[in-house]
Amino acid sequence: MATISTTATIQSKPQQACPKSGTDGTTAGDTTPCTPCKEDVGWRKIVRNFTPSWFAVTMGTGIVSILLHNLPYNATWISHGLAVAFFILNVGLFTIFTGITVLRYALYPEIWKAMVIHPAQSMFLGCFPMGFATIINMMIFVCAPAWGKWVVSWAWGFWWLDAALSLATCITVPFVILPPKEAIVSVFLPIGPLGQGGFGIQQLGKVSLKLLPQSTAFTTAAPGAVHGGEILYFLGIFLALIMWGFALVWLSFALISIVTMQKFPFNMGWWGFTFPLGVMATCTGMLAQDLDSTFFRVMTMIFSLSVCLLWLLVAVRTLHQAISGEIFFAPCLKDLRDKQAQAGSDRRV
Protein backbone atom coordinates (compact mmCIF):
# COMPACT_ATOMS: atom_id res chain seq x y z
CA MET A 1 0.00 0.00 0.00
CA ALA A 2 2.86 2.35 0.82
CA THR A 3 4.40 1.66 -2.58
CA ILE A 4 1.10 2.37 -4.36
CA SER A 5 0.65 5.61 -2.40
CA THR A 6 4.18 6.77 -3.26
CA THR A 7 3.64 6.00 -6.95
CA ALA A 8 0.35 7.92 -7.01
CA THR A 9 2.01 10.90 -5.37
CA ILE A 10 4.76 10.95 -7.98
CA GLN A 11 2.26 10.65 -10.85
CA SER A 12 0.05 13.43 -9.47
CA LYS A 13 2.98 15.84 -9.07
CA PRO A 14 2.86 18.46 -11.85
CA GLN A 15 5.65 18.39 -14.40
CA GLN A 16 8.37 20.99 -14.02
CA ALA A 17 8.04 23.90 -16.40
CA CYS A 18 10.93 24.65 -18.69
CA PRO A 19 12.87 27.61 -17.34
CA LYS A 20 13.29 30.68 -19.51
CA SER A 21 17.05 30.36 -19.49
CA GLY A 22 16.93 27.14 -21.47
CA THR A 23 16.02 26.96 -25.13
CA ASP A 24 16.79 23.32 -25.86
CA GLY A 25 14.82 21.58 -23.12
CA THR A 26 17.65 21.71 -20.56
CA THR A 27 18.40 24.06 -17.73
CA ALA A 28 21.54 26.17 -17.59
CA GLY A 29 24.38 24.03 -16.27
CA ASP A 30 22.18 20.90 -16.21
CA THR A 31 21.92 18.25 -18.92
CA THR A 32 18.69 16.77 -17.52
CA PRO A 33 15.83 17.39 -19.98
CA CYS A 34 12.73 19.12 -18.65
CA THR A 35 9.25 19.50 -20.04
CA PRO A 36 9.24 22.16 -22.83
CA CYS A 37 7.15 25.27 -22.30
CA LYS A 38 3.91 25.39 -24.28
CA GLU A 39 5.28 28.45 -26.12
CA ASP A 40 8.21 26.40 -27.46
CA VAL A 41 6.31 23.51 -29.00
CA GLY A 42 3.70 23.02 -31.70
CA TRP A 43 2.08 25.87 -33.59
CA ARG A 44 2.93 28.41 -30.90
CA LYS A 45 6.64 27.87 -31.51
CA ILE A 46 6.12 28.46 -35.23
CA VAL A 47 4.10 31.64 -34.65
CA ARG A 48 6.48 33.08 -32.04
CA ASN A 49 9.54 32.48 -34.21
CA PHE A 50 8.02 33.54 -37.54
CA THR A 51 10.29 36.47 -38.41
CA PRO A 52 9.87 39.01 -41.26
CA SER A 53 12.71 37.30 -43.11
CA TRP A 54 10.19 34.70 -44.27
CA PHE A 55 8.83 37.26 -46.73
CA ALA A 56 12.13 36.98 -48.60
CA VAL A 57 10.65 33.66 -49.81
CA THR A 58 7.80 35.53 -51.50
CA MET A 59 10.26 37.96 -53.07
CA GLY A 60 12.26 35.12 -54.60
CA THR A 61 9.22 33.13 -55.70
CA GLY A 62 7.55 36.21 -57.15
CA ILE A 63 10.51 37.29 -59.23
CA VAL A 64 10.79 33.77 -60.67
CA SER A 65 7.17 33.97 -61.87
CA ILE A 66 7.82 37.38 -63.47
CA LEU A 67 10.99 36.18 -65.22
CA LEU A 68 9.32 33.04 -66.56
CA HIS A 69 6.44 35.11 -67.94
CA ASN A 70 8.71 37.64 -69.67
CA LEU A 71 11.42 35.39 -71.13
CA PRO A 72 12.58 36.72 -74.53
CA TYR A 73 12.54 33.19 -75.98
CA ASN A 74 9.41 31.81 -74.44
CA ALA A 75 6.80 29.13 -74.87
CA THR A 76 3.16 29.02 -73.88
CA TRP A 77 3.69 26.23 -71.38
CA ILE A 78 6.26 28.46 -69.64
CA SER A 79 4.66 31.93 -69.84
CA HIS A 80 1.11 30.74 -69.14
CA GLY A 81 1.84 27.48 -67.38
CA LEU A 82 4.93 27.39 -65.23
CA ALA A 83 4.87 31.15 -64.57
CA VAL A 84 1.25 31.01 -63.46
CA ALA A 85 2.03 28.05 -61.20
CA PHE A 86 4.77 30.06 -59.50
CA PHE A 87 2.38 33.01 -59.26
CA ILE A 88 -0.29 30.89 -57.54
CA LEU A 89 2.34 29.44 -55.22
CA ASN A 90 3.54 32.93 -54.38
CA VAL A 91 0.02 34.18 -53.62
CA GLY A 92 -0.53 31.19 -51.35
CA LEU A 93 2.74 31.70 -49.51
CA PHE A 94 2.16 35.43 -49.13
CA THR A 95 -1.34 34.87 -47.75
CA ILE A 96 -0.17 32.24 -45.26
CA PHE A 97 2.83 34.28 -44.16
CA THR A 98 0.70 37.38 -43.69
CA GLY A 99 -1.81 35.44 -41.59
CA ILE A 100 0.91 33.99 -39.37
CA THR A 101 2.51 37.43 -38.98
CA VAL A 102 -0.77 39.03 -37.92
CA LEU A 103 -1.36 36.17 -35.48
CA ARG A 104 2.16 36.56 -34.09
CA TYR A 105 1.79 40.19 -33.13
CA ALA A 106 -1.82 39.78 -32.04
CA LEU A 107 -0.96 37.01 -29.56
CA TYR A 108 2.43 38.40 -28.54
CA PRO A 109 2.38 42.19 -29.01
CA GLU A 110 5.59 42.58 -27.01
CA ILE A 111 7.48 40.81 -29.82
CA TRP A 112 6.80 43.72 -32.19
CA LYS A 113 9.01 46.16 -30.29
CA ALA A 114 11.71 43.53 -29.78
CA MET A 115 11.73 42.81 -33.51
CA VAL A 116 11.75 46.46 -34.60
CA ILE A 117 14.72 47.41 -32.44
CA HIS A 118 16.70 44.32 -33.47
CA PRO A 119 19.54 45.46 -35.77
CA ALA A 120 19.13 42.50 -38.14
CA GLN A 121 15.47 41.46 -38.08
CA SER A 122 14.14 44.99 -38.64
CA MET A 123 16.07 45.10 -41.93
CA PHE A 124 13.73 42.42 -43.32
CA LEU A 125 10.60 44.55 -42.92
CA GLY A 126 11.08 45.74 -46.49
CA CYS A 127 10.60 42.18 -47.73
CA PHE A 128 6.84 42.46 -47.16
CA PRO A 129 6.14 45.31 -49.63
CA MET A 130 8.69 43.91 -52.08
CA GLY A 131 7.02 40.50 -52.07
CA PHE A 132 3.63 42.17 -52.44
CA ALA A 133 4.95 44.12 -55.46
CA THR A 134 5.71 40.90 -57.34
CA ILE A 135 2.10 39.79 -56.90
CA ILE A 136 0.82 43.14 -58.20
CA ASN A 137 3.02 42.84 -61.29
CA MET A 138 1.75 39.36 -62.08
CA MET A 139 -1.83 40.57 -61.64
CA ILE A 140 -1.18 42.95 -64.55
CA PHE A 141 0.75 40.42 -66.63
CA VAL A 142 -1.55 37.42 -66.20
CA CYS A 143 -4.86 38.25 -64.52
CA ALA A 144 -5.75 41.50 -66.32
CA PRO A 145 -5.67 40.04 -69.87
CA ALA A 146 -7.75 37.06 -68.76
CA TRP A 147 -10.26 38.68 -66.38
CA GLY A 148 -10.65 42.23 -67.60
CA LYS A 149 -10.15 45.80 -66.42
CA TRP A 150 -11.52 45.29 -62.93
CA VAL A 151 -8.27 43.49 -62.10
CA VAL A 152 -6.37 46.61 -63.17
CA SER A 153 -8.43 48.67 -60.72
CA TRP A 154 -7.60 46.25 -57.90
CA ALA A 155 -3.95 46.22 -58.88
CA TRP A 156 -3.94 50.03 -58.89
CA GLY A 157 -5.36 50.07 -55.36
CA PHE A 158 -2.89 47.43 -54.20
CA TRP A 159 -0.05 49.46 -55.74
CA TRP A 160 -0.94 52.52 -53.68
CA LEU A 161 -1.15 50.38 -50.55
CA ASP A 162 2.22 48.83 -51.34
CA ALA A 163 3.73 52.25 -52.02
CA ALA A 164 2.47 53.49 -48.64
CA LEU A 165 3.94 50.44 -46.88
CA SER A 166 7.26 50.90 -48.69
CA LEU A 167 7.40 54.58 -47.77
CA ALA A 168 6.53 53.83 -44.15
CA THR A 169 9.28 51.21 -43.99
CA CYS A 170 11.87 53.51 -45.57
CA ILE A 171 11.02 56.38 -43.23
CA THR A 172 10.60 54.54 -39.93
CA VAL A 173 13.24 51.79 -39.94
CA PRO A 174 16.28 54.12 -40.19
CA PHE A 175 15.12 55.94 -37.05
CA VAL A 176 14.78 52.85 -34.90
CA ILE A 177 18.45 52.79 -33.93
CA LEU A 178 19.72 56.36 -34.03
CA PRO A 179 23.27 57.43 -33.16
CA PRO A 180 23.84 58.64 -29.60
CA LYS A 181 22.89 62.22 -28.83
CA GLU A 182 26.50 63.35 -28.96
CA ALA A 183 26.87 62.06 -32.54
CA ILE A 184 23.38 62.72 -33.93
CA VAL A 185 24.73 65.48 -36.19
CA SER A 186 26.61 62.77 -38.12
CA VAL A 187 23.36 61.93 -39.93
CA PHE A 188 23.97 65.09 -42.01
CA LEU A 189 27.39 63.97 -43.27
CA PRO A 190 26.21 61.77 -46.21
CA ILE A 191 24.62 64.87 -47.74
CA GLY A 192 28.11 66.27 -48.32
CA PRO A 193 29.40 63.76 -50.92
CA LEU A 194 26.07 63.87 -52.75
CA GLY A 195 25.95 67.65 -52.94
CA GLN A 196 29.63 68.05 -53.78
CA GLY A 197 29.44 65.19 -56.28
CA GLY A 198 26.46 66.76 -58.05
CA PHE A 199 28.24 70.12 -58.23
CA GLY A 200 31.48 68.57 -59.45
CA ILE A 201 29.93 66.45 -62.17
CA GLN A 202 28.09 69.48 -63.55
CA GLN A 203 31.36 71.38 -63.64
CA LEU A 204 33.00 68.51 -65.53
CA GLY A 205 30.15 68.60 -68.03
CA LYS A 206 30.66 72.32 -68.59
CA VAL A 207 34.40 71.87 -69.06
CA SER A 208 33.77 69.04 -71.54
CA LEU A 209 31.34 71.22 -73.49
CA LYS A 210 34.04 73.89 -73.82
CA LEU A 211 37.21 71.87 -74.34
CA LEU A 212 36.22 68.75 -76.28
CA PRO A 213 35.30 70.64 -79.47
CA GLN A 214 38.82 72.09 -79.41
CA SER A 215 40.45 68.67 -79.12
CA THR A 216 40.72 65.65 -81.38
CA ALA A 217 38.65 63.45 -79.04
CA PHE A 218 35.70 61.67 -80.66
CA THR A 219 36.87 62.76 -84.11
CA THR A 220 35.86 59.41 -85.56
CA ALA A 221 32.17 60.22 -85.11
CA ALA A 222 30.13 60.56 -88.27
CA PRO A 223 29.64 64.07 -89.64
CA GLY A 224 26.60 65.74 -88.10
CA ALA A 225 26.64 63.52 -85.02
CA VAL A 226 26.16 65.01 -81.56
CA HIS A 227 29.47 66.17 -80.14
CA GLY A 228 30.92 64.31 -77.18
CA GLY A 229 31.07 67.51 -75.13
CA GLU A 230 27.32 68.01 -75.45
CA ILE A 231 26.68 64.43 -74.41
CA LEU A 232 28.85 64.77 -71.32
CA TYR A 233 27.27 68.12 -70.46
CA PHE A 234 23.73 66.76 -70.49
CA LEU A 235 24.85 63.57 -68.75
CA GLY A 236 26.37 65.69 -65.98
CA ILE A 237 23.08 67.51 -65.43
CA PHE A 238 21.18 64.23 -65.40
CA LEU A 239 23.50 62.61 -62.86
CA ALA A 240 23.48 65.77 -60.74
CA LEU A 241 19.68 65.63 -60.60
CA ILE A 242 19.85 62.04 -59.39
CA MET A 243 22.41 62.89 -56.72
CA TRP A 244 20.41 65.95 -55.68
CA GLY A 245 17.34 63.77 -55.24
CA PHE A 246 19.26 61.31 -53.05
CA ALA A 247 20.63 64.21 -51.03
CA LEU A 248 17.11 65.59 -50.53
CA VAL A 249 15.89 62.21 -49.28
CA TRP A 250 18.81 61.94 -46.87
CA LEU A 251 18.23 65.53 -45.73
CA SER A 252 14.66 64.54 -44.86
CA PHE A 253 15.97 61.58 -42.83
CA ALA A 254 18.46 63.83 -41.05
CA LEU A 255 15.89 66.50 -40.19
CA ILE A 256 13.43 63.92 -38.85
CA SER A 257 16.23 62.39 -36.77
CA ILE A 258 17.05 65.77 -35.24
CA VAL A 259 13.38 66.54 -34.54
CA THR A 260 12.72 63.18 -32.92
CA MET A 261 15.81 63.57 -30.74
CA GLN A 262 14.33 65.80 -28.03
CA LYS A 263 17.52 67.35 -26.67
CA PHE A 264 21.15 66.74 -27.51
CA PRO A 265 24.17 68.54 -26.07
CA PHE A 266 26.17 71.07 -28.01
CA ASN A 267 29.63 69.95 -29.13
CA MET A 268 32.03 70.55 -31.98
CA GLY A 269 30.09 68.04 -34.05
CA TRP A 270 27.47 70.73 -34.59
CA TRP A 271 29.73 72.17 -37.26
CA GLY A 272 28.70 69.13 -39.28
CA PHE A 273 25.43 70.94 -39.98
CA THR A 274 27.01 73.60 -42.17
CA PHE A 275 29.26 72.08 -44.83
CA PRO A 276 26.97 69.24 -46.07
CA LEU A 277 24.04 71.61 -46.44
CA GLY A 278 26.36 74.20 -48.00
CA VAL A 279 27.62 71.94 -50.80
CA MET A 280 24.04 70.86 -51.44
CA ALA A 281 23.22 74.55 -51.90
CA THR A 282 26.05 74.89 -54.45
CA CYS A 283 24.73 71.88 -56.37
CA THR A 284 21.23 73.38 -56.30
CA GLY A 285 22.54 76.72 -57.54
CA MET A 286 24.34 75.06 -60.44
CA LEU A 287 21.15 73.21 -61.41
CA ALA A 288 19.27 76.50 -61.27
CA GLN A 289 21.73 77.98 -63.78
CA ASP A 290 21.83 75.00 -66.14
CA LEU A 291 18.08 74.40 -66.15
CA ASP A 292 17.03 78.05 -65.79
CA SER A 293 14.65 76.83 -63.08
CA THR A 294 12.79 79.08 -60.65
CA PHE A 295 12.27 76.11 -58.34
CA PHE A 296 15.98 75.48 -57.97
CA ARG A 297 16.65 79.20 -57.51
CA VAL A 298 14.20 79.30 -54.60
CA MET A 299 15.70 76.13 -53.11
CA THR A 300 19.17 77.65 -53.44
CA MET A 301 18.03 80.69 -51.47
CA ILE A 302 16.47 78.50 -48.77
CA PHE A 303 19.56 76.30 -48.40
CA SER A 304 21.99 79.22 -48.50
CA LEU A 305 20.14 81.28 -45.88
CA SER A 306 19.77 78.19 -43.69
CA VAL A 307 23.52 77.59 -43.83
CA CYS A 308 24.22 81.21 -42.89
CA LEU A 309 21.84 81.05 -39.92
CA LEU A 310 23.28 77.71 -38.81
CA TRP A 311 26.81 79.11 -39.01
CA LEU A 312 25.80 82.07 -36.86
CA LEU A 313 24.12 79.82 -34.29
CA VAL A 314 26.99 77.34 -34.07
CA ALA A 315 29.65 80.07 -34.04
CA VAL A 316 27.98 81.86 -31.11
CA ARG A 317 27.67 78.62 -29.13
CA THR A 318 31.27 77.69 -29.89
CA LEU A 319 32.59 81.09 -28.82
CA HIS A 320 30.54 81.05 -25.62
CA GLN A 321 31.77 77.60 -24.55
CA ALA A 322 35.34 78.37 -25.64
CA ILE A 323 35.40 81.38 -23.32
CA SER A 324 33.99 79.33 -20.44
CA GLY A 325 36.36 76.45 -21.23
CA GLU A 326 33.49 73.97 -21.31
CA ILE A 327 34.08 72.96 -24.91
CA PHE A 328 37.66 71.79 -24.27
CA PHE A 329 36.76 68.19 -23.49
CA ALA A 330 38.30 65.11 -25.09
CA PRO A 331 36.27 61.94 -24.38
CA CYS A 332 39.19 59.75 -25.48
CA LEU A 333 41.21 60.90 -22.46
CA LYS A 334 38.75 59.21 -20.12
CA ASP A 335 39.44 55.85 -21.77
CA LEU A 336 43.17 56.53 -21.55
CA ARG A 337 42.90 57.36 -17.84
CA ASP A 338 40.93 54.18 -17.22
CA LYS A 339 43.58 52.08 -18.97
CA GLN A 340 46.38 53.76 -17.03
CA ALA A 341 44.49 53.29 -13.77
CA GLN A 342 44.14 49.58 -14.50
CA ALA A 343 47.85 49.41 -15.28
CA GLY A 344 48.70 51.19 -12.02
CA SER A 345 50.25 54.27 -13.65
CA ASP A 346 50.25 57.58 -11.79
CA ARG A 347 50.83 59.70 -14.89
CA ARG A 348 48.19 62.40 -15.34
CA VAL A 349 46.61 62.74 -18.79
Report pLDDT digits (tens) over 187-242: 777 888 888 889 889 988 888 888 877 776 666 655 554 577 788 889 999 999 99
Q: Quick check: 259 pLDDT over 50?
A: yes
Single-letter residue type at 76: T
Chain-wide mean pLDDT for the chain? 79
Contacts of 151 (CB under 8 A, 6+ apart): 139, 140, 143, 144
Q: What average pLDDT score do residues 38-60 get?
A: 82
Q: Quick check: 160 pLDDT over 90?
A: yes
Rounded CA-CA distance 272/185 in Å is 6
pLDDT of residue 13: 43
Q: Which residues pair with 26 in a beta bridge?
A: 33
Distances (CA, A) of 106 to 31, 37, 47, 81, 116: 35, 20, 10, 38, 15
Name the pLDDT band for 20 (thresholds 50, 70, 90).
very low
pLDDT of residue 29: 47
Q: What average pLDDT score do residues 31-49 get?
A: 70
DSSP state of 224: T
Q: Domain ranges for the chain, please list them.
A: 40-175, 181-338
Q: What percent of the chain has pLDDT over 90?
A: 22
Q: How many CB atoms lie within 10 A of CB 65?
A: 25
Q: Quick check: 48 pLDDT over 80?
A: yes
Q: What is the pTM of this model?
A: 0.61
pLDDT of residue 151: 92
The more confidently predicted of residues 317 and 335 is 317
Identify whether the C-beta of residue 55 lies closer than 8 Å to the C-beta of residue 124. yes
The distance from CA 182 to its chain's CA centroid, rounded to whole angstroms, is 22
Burial class, 58, CB count within 10 angstroms (exposed 0-12 / middle 13-18 / buried 19+): buried
Q: What percent of the chain has pLDDT over 70?
A: 75
Q: Quick check: 8 pLDDT over 70?
A: no
pLDDT of residue 237: 92
Q: Quick check: 37 pLDDT over 80?
A: no
Rounded CA-CA distance 274/311 in Å is 6
The more confidently predicted of residues 125 and 262 is 125
Distances (CA, A) of 211 to 228, 233, 235, 291: 10, 11, 16, 21
Rounded CA-CA distance 149/159 in Å is 15
Name the pLDDT band for 322 (thresholds 50, 70, 90).
confident
